[in-house]
Structure 1
Amino acid sequence: MADNNKKVDHDFQLLKNVKKVKLAKDYNFFNHNPFFKLLSFFTVLLIKVLVFYVFGVIFRGLRIKGKKNLKHLKKERFILLSNHVHVLDAIWIGSLIFPRKIYVTMLQSNLGLPFVGKILRVAGGITIPETKELMVHFLDELKTELSKKTPVLVMPEASIKPYHVGIRKFLSGAFRFAADADAKILPFVYVYKNPNFIQKLYKKKPRIHLHILEPVEVVLGETKQQTLTLTKNKVHQIMSDYFNKHSDLKEENYNEPQKLIESNKRFTKARRALLEVLKDRHLTFKEIYEELSKKGYTNISTLYNNLQFFLDNNLIIKINLDGVKYYDLGLDNPFHDHDSHLHMVIKDEDEYNPTIKEIDYPEIYDAIKSHPVFKHYDIEYIRILVSASPSKHKHK
């Protein structure tokens, strides 16, 4: 029998130095007790006055754009997403939507924070459980709440990085919730604005503005994993594009690969043909040349130069396998569909002609990203090379 109390490899980093909290098997994730709901209402009302208006709007210069998109919350079920740039950013979103009820996901360990844990719970925090048994129970309750058109806010970047410029890599939990509950996604993007003349006299940090974008539907793939990946990539691209268009502080070299590809001067027909040949394939130089020759591109010197051009710009990478070089599209290449690499080299009887298969399972990357050893780092990409051969053992 499977151990239902085994730890879940979910997508949220664990907090340390807090009191450990164990949830009962019948734990009520969404408390509907009338007294609790009344207490929650007045708690959020107080938070809206003090934290949203006084601290946010008056002292931090918080401004809201796109309020009209909140009307969608009345009609359909939604998972709300936002970049995580301030300790109060989730509270500001909840206060903005108030008096409409909203739930905000949080770590189970947050309940162990002295006093704050109870406030978070009363204010609408819902705990992400750490056991598989409770996770099943949690997902069932989550679907029920979403069916009532009660929005749930998730921070897909997981950890707070104050005033980070740009949208960081997303974990998959929020998109799994949306797909399982047949919910749409409503993105919220915090952008930065430079202080005006008067504010420069007393402000060192940029002003924070909150923009509410149009709803995004889950992108259905052939498999559940593909659905999560396609949806995550689509939402991340939308939020990244929006941030870099509307924020006064922008990411350096944002979308340079796309700009390079869109440049008619540097992106010739021969270079486009080279990228098209490598799409979803891993080829040696000889194999690339043979494929391009079929398209009429037979100049070896041009191929050498184009390969080096793409290698220098991180649009193509090399995979060294037993002394043989294979070429693949880089993670920064818009022609590439994935945001991380896991290559499995399958060696059958013919070891001189192995099969290179690209694996895309978000939970593998998320488990690595959430490991404590990386907690002080922002992972830009993950490349893993696994050598394998077909199992000779029969599995029942």
Structure 2
Amino acid sequence: MNQKTYYYDSLTDDIVESRHQDYQLPSDYQWLPRGLWQSLIRWLVRTGATGFAFIYTRLFCGVKIVNLAKLKPFRQQAYIIYGNHTQPVNDVFMPLLITNPYHFYALAAPANWGIPIIGKLLKYGGAIPTGQTQSQLRSMIDAIDQLMHQAGHLVIYPEAHVWPSYTKIRPFATSSFRFAVSHQVPTFVMTTTYQGKRWTGQPKIVVYLDGPYQAPTNLKTKAQQKWLHDQVSRQMQQRAQLNTYQQFNYQKEDANQ
């Protein structure tokens, strides 16, 4: 059977576009739940999402998570996890099984807020939209500052765009590490790999957790960000060597065509 091929111009391309790609956040968007009623909705959404995550991640996808114990000592304090972005659905729900689900947050593209019904629940599930304007960027930073002070567990996919079952690590910016440095919190690496095939014909998904990393405080801010970037990138590249199965083909477009 022929493998599906994804074509791209650059390793930073968004190759999986949705109908809601151009969705714009409202100017009065509330970044974090507030009050007793919204806190109750938050608890219900996260509890339900965690149950779904167990069914989908563990039972349906059969994901194996290696080194989960590395996070246990940090369960009641703030930390950040950086992962490669290769699973459109599992990358949304799996972190609920890895982190404390009631401390979980994740950066996500605003396009997700355009999805009917689900978009309205994302805030309660811990999703933080990446700001589209200067004002929204400031609000996003303020929200992350607040959740870091509340022992939040923040998941960031620095590659930004999902490339389904991609087995290499794409380049990402050092700016992704600004929060880890500004809050001096432990940094972990979450690398998804694809190893052989199960009886279903689908690849076995094995996720590795590594860390913690924390940049030397004697370095200047930009240097600390680069230090973390290099550590995370190097660790992801190392784990990516464990891939043994490629589900899809990825082919660079010929500029001469």
Same fold (TM > 0.5): yes
Distance 1:45 1:137 in 2: 26
Which residue number in structure 2 is paired with residue 21 of structure 1? 24
CA-CA distance at 1:103 after TM superposition = 0.7
Distance 1:172 1:12 in 2: 18
Which residue number in structure 2 is paired with residue 133 of structure 1? 135
- Alignment check: 8 A CA contact 2:112 2:119 kept: yes
Distance 1:91 1:173 in 2: 25
**1:238 equivalent in alignment to 2:239:** no
Distance 1:140 1:56 in 2: 32
Pick aligned residue for 2:244 from 245, 248, 268: 248
Pick aligned residue for 1:228 from 220, 225, 228: 225
Letter matched to residue 78 of structure 1: Y
Higher CA-based Rg = 1
CA-CA distance at 1:158 after TM superposition = 0.7
Identity of aligned residues (%): 17
**1:177 equivalent in alignment to 2:161:** no
CA-CA distance at 1:12 after TM superposition = 10
1:197-346 alignment, distance < 5 Å: 199-200=198-199, 203-219=200-216, 223-244=220-241, 246-249=242-245
- Alignment check: 8 A CA contact 2:46 2:102 kept: no
Which residue number in structure 1 is paired with residue 98 of structure 2? 96
TM-score, length-scaled by structure 2? 0.79
CA-CA distance at 1:118 after TM superposition = 1.6
CA-CA distance at 1:207 after TM superposition = 1.2
Q: Tell me, what secondary structure is at the counterpart of 2:164?
A: coil
Structure 2 unmatched ranges of 5 or more: 1-11
- Alignment check: 8 A CA contact 1:219 1:231 kept: no
Worse-matched range after superposition: 143-152 or 31-40: 31-40
CA-CA distance at 1:16 after TM superposition = 6.0
Distance 1:12 1:42 in 2: 35
TM-score, length-scaled by structure 1? 0.53
Distance 2:74 2:159 in 1: 23
Q: Tell me, what secondary structure is at the counterpart of 2:160?
A: coil
- Alignment check: 8 A CA contact 1:183 1:218 kept: no
Which residue number in structure 2 is paired with residue 352 of structure 1? none
Distance 1:233 1:71, change over 3 A: same
CA-CA distance at 1:98 after TM superposition = 4.2
C-alpha distance after superposition, 1:146-199 (max 9, x if no partner): 12211111101111111111222123343122122222211111122223xxx4
Distance 1:100 1:168, change over 3 A: same
- Alignment check: 8 A CA contact 1:73 1:149 kept: no
Letter matched to residue 248 of structure 1: T
Letter matched to residue 65 of structure 1: V
Distance 1:116 1:43, change over 3 A: same
Letter matched to residue 82 of structure 2: L
Distance 1:90 1:172, change over 3 A: farther
Pick aligned residue for 1:114 from 116, 121, 133: 116
Higher RCO (CA-CA < 8 Å; seq separation 6+): 2
Distance 2:182 2:171 in 1: 21
CA-CA distance at 1:249 after TM superposition = 4.2
- Alignment check: 8 A CA contact 2:62 2:205 kept: yes
Q: Tell me, what secondary structure is at the counterpart of 1:213?
A: strand
CA-CA distance at 1:233 after TM superposition = 1.6
Structure 1 unmatched ranges of 5 or more: 1-10, 251-375, 379-396
Which residue number in structure 2 is paired with residue 59 of structure 1? 60
C-alpha distance after superposition, 1:9-28 (max 9, x if no partner): xx996966426334335x43
